[in-house]
């Protein structure tokens, strides 16, 4: 509501200015003074020059104000390369922006309408045209080559570590389903047909495949510092976008088209908090928690493709642990999706039949070959 009122007041303010201007013009016509275009053009030139100066001052102020709350340094190795590419591009674009905008407004001031000025016809200048064609072409070619090098390094499939941690993440409205392989490091097969994909087995997991028996859901994404990660992505309904801002990772999740992203985490969650502790803004108190902001910092997964009304809620915590041992300890605490059956008629608890034990609070599934755990308990 506040935003609407603010917008309405701004519109009203500019409407009043326009009406005042028109009233002034009408009063001059009635008084027979006529329109002094030279004087008005001169004042327009002064105002445009003042505007561009105020505009650049406001940019400097906003950078100073907002820079401390910008996203921190990259938490992945490839992210440092993309950040460097961004800063190089920003450097050249800033120079071009300042020169062109200042020239645009200065010309409106310098060459305003006047009876004492005569326009000079300047058809062309070959030297100038070569300069402003060749220099931008060289700069853009350099930026393109730099971008292609970074792209090929990130998506170089042949150089990927064969022992990378593989995680399967599937998006649906409005949640992320993260599946991890168990101790064997292998995922159970998925069969994408109507016989296997059901409301209780949305991914079509083949429960006859022994490799699926130790797979587990996770309510958070857990990675290992320094160990490459291959995230295999998919979607069940509409297009989503897998976004890890702190790792500079973004890839669309498209129904029917598997995608993936490979990267290596550089800092654990605790190491990033220690870094943020050294930055002034992150030491300010968060009014919602009453603690310094760095204390409650978390890596996060978000969806950056508008996918429906609850798009904003597609978030999941991401944790980076320091080594394999810590990861193994976390993995031991997870419950497998599949639970092996006992003899018929001996189902006395939730471990007595094939079923899912989803740790993800947003996702509960039951194996196609068995009944839901709740029904077995009642039986």
What percentage of the chain's residues is helix, strand, coil (to nearest 5)? 45, 20, 35
Give the pLDDT confidence score for residue 352 in this predicted structure.
Answer: 28
Residue 7 is inside which H or E element, if any? helix 2-31
In this predicted structure, the answer to whether residue 365 has a pLDDT above a threshold of 50 is no
Number of CB atoms found within 10 A of residue 371's CB: 16
φ, ψ for residue 292 (rounded to 5)?
-60, 145
pLDDT tier at 94 (50, 70, 90 boundaries)?
Answer: very high
Per-residue confidence (pLDDT) for residue 180, from 0 to 100: 95
**Which residue, chain included where needed, has tokens 């079509």?**
204
Q: In CATH terms, are 36-154 and 163-336 the same topology? A: no
What's the CA gap between 197 and 205, in Å, rounded? Answer: 8
pLDDT digits (tens, 9 = 90+) for 255-294: 999 999 999 999 999 999 999 999 999 999 999 889 999 9
Q: How much is the pLDDT for 228?
A: 96
pLDDT given for residue 378 in this prediction: 33
The confidence band for 379, taking pLDDT boundaries of 50, 70 and 90, is: very low
E strand or H helix at 48: helix 37-66
pLDDT of residue 339: 58
Domain boundaries along the sequence of the chain: 1-25, 36-154, 163-336
Q: Does the structural domain 163-336 have CATH classification 2.60.40.420?
A: yes
What is the pLDDT, as a whole number, of residue 318? 96
Q: Between these two residues, 21 and 251, which has the higher pLDDT value?
A: 251
pLDDT at 17: 87
Q: Which pLDDT value is given to residue 140?
A: 93
pLDDT at 351 over 50: no
Q: Are 355 and 372 in contact (CB under 8 A)?
A: yes
Residues with Cβ within 8 Å of 323's Cβ and at least 6 positions away in sequence, in order, are 224, 225
Separation between Cα atoms, residue 352 and residue 374, nearest integer Å: 11
**Statement: residue 364 has pLDDT above 50:** no
Give per-residue pLDDT as tens, 21-38: 788 777 777 776 666 677
End-to-end, the C-alpha distance of the chain in Å comes to 54
Q: Assign 252 to helix, strand or coil.
A: strand
Q: Which secondary-structure segment (H or E) carries 373?
A: helix 373-378
**pLDDT 10s digits, 198-250:** 888 888 888 889 999 999 999 999 999 999 999 999 999 999 999 999 999 99
Task: Give residue 124's pLDDT.
Answer: 83
pTM of the model: 0.76
Q: According to the model, what pLDDT value does residue 35 have? A: 64
The mean pLDDT value for 345-357 works out to 35
Percent of the chain past pLDDT 70, that is, above it, reads: 87
Closest Cα partner for 102 from 147, 62, 56, 37? 56
Average pLDDT for the chain: 85
Q: Span 88-111, mean pLDDT?
A: 90
Q: What is the pLDDT of residue 109?
A: 85
The pLDDT > 90 percentage for the chain reads 60
Q: Please give the class, per CATH, of domain 36-154.
A: mainly alpha
Give the residue among 321, 358, 22, 29 at the shortest CA–CA distance from 175.
358
> Bridge-partner residues for 286, per DSSP?
291
CB 178 within 8 A of CB 314: no
Q: Which residue has the higher pLDDT, 262 or 158?
A: 262
Look at 324 and 362; give whichever has higher pLDDT.
324
């Amino acid at each position: 509501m506040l935003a609407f009122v603010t917008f309405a007041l701004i519109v009203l303010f500019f409407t009043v200015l326009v009406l005042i201007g028109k009233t002034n013009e009408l009063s001059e016509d009635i008084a027979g003074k006529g329109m002094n275009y030279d004087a008005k053009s001169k004042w327009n030139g002064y105002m445009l020059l003042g505007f561009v100066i105020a505009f650049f001052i406001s940019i400097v102020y906003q950078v100073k104000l907002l820079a401390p709350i910008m996203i921190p340094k990259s938490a992945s190795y490839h992210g440092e390369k993309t950040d460097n590419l961004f800063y190089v591009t920003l450097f050249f674009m800033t120079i071009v922006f300042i020169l062109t905008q200042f020239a645009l407004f200065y010309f409106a001031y310098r060459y305003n309408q006047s009876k004492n000025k005569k326009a000079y016809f300047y058809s062309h200048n070959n030297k100038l045209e070569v300069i402003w064609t060749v220099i931008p072409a060289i700069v853009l070619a350099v930026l393109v080559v730099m971008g292609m090098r970074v792209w090929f390094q990130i998506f170089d499939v042949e150089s990927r570590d064969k022992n990378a941690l593989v995680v399967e993440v599937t998006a649906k409205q409005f949640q992320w389903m993260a599946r991890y392989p168990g101790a064997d490091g292998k995922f159970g097969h998925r069969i994408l047909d109507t016989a296997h994909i059901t409301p209780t087995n949305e991914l079509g997991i083949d429960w006859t495949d022994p490799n699926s028996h130790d797979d587990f859901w996770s309510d958070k994404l857990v990675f290992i510092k320094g160990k490459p990660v291959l995230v295999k992505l998919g979607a069940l309904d509409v297009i989503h976008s897998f976004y890890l801002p702190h790792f500079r990772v973004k890839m669309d999740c498209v129904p029917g088209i598997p995608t993936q992203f490979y990267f290596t985490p550089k800092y654990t969650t605790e190491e990033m908090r220690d870094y943020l502790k050294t930055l002034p803004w992150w030491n300010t108190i968060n009014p919602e928690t009453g603690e310094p902001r760095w204390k409650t910092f978390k890596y996060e997964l978000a969806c950056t493709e508008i996918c429906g009304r609850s798009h904003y809620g597609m978030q999941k915590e991401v944790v980076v642990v320091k080594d394999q041992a810590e990861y193994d300890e976390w993995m031991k605490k997870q419950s497998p999706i599949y639970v092996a059956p006992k003899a018929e008629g001996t189902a006395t608890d939730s471990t007595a039949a094939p079923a899912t034990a989803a740790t993800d609070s947003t996702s509960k599934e039951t194996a196609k070959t068995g009944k839901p755990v709740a029904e077995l308990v009642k039986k």
